[in-house]
Amino acid sequence: AQSVAQPEDQVNVAEGNPLTVKCTYSVSGNPYLFWYVQYPNRGLQFLLKYITGDNLVKGSYGFEAEFNKSQTSFHLKKPSALVSDSALYFCAVRSLTDSWGKLQFGAGTQVVVTP
């Protein structure tokens, strides 16, 4: 069975400071990893993915994430947070052995960026 843990319910950061949202996963075999963001009363918006290759992946809106196989982690980062980054962030995993492609999501981390 696959699972995703987002250990922080909420992350508070001042605008201009670095932002990190943590994610660890458990999956059979190699993972496909994703980050999504959700604004109030909206669907999920894709930010970035790790499939293979370079462990540091870059995505939309200045976000990046680092895949660490030994620590089974895929933390989301942004060097300088904006107030508009305040939203709910979800990490998701898919196993390469799952040909149907369903995603297993974490419970989400609320990011609050203060001016």
Residue 47 has which token pair?
């930010």
- The window from 16-24, 38-46, 69-77, 79-87 that contacts other proteins (CB under 8 A) reads 38-46
What are φ and ψ of residue 55, in 5° steps? Answer: -70, -20
- Integer distance in angstroms from the first to the last C-alpha of the chain? 41
Residue 5 has which token pair?
């843990």
Contacts with other proteins in 54-83 (CB under 8 A)?
none
* 20 belongs to the binding site for other proteins (CB under 8 A): no
- The window from 14-22, 23-31, 45-53, 60-68 that contacts other proteins (CB under 8 A) reads 45-53
* 108 belongs to the binding site for other proteins (CB under 8 A): yes
Q: Residue 32 CB: number of other CB atoms within 10 A?
A: 17
**By the 8 A CB rule, do 52 and 106 touch?**
no
Q: List interacting residues with other proteins (CB under 8 A).
A: 4, 32, 34, 36, 41-46, 49, 51-52, 90, 92, 94, 100-108
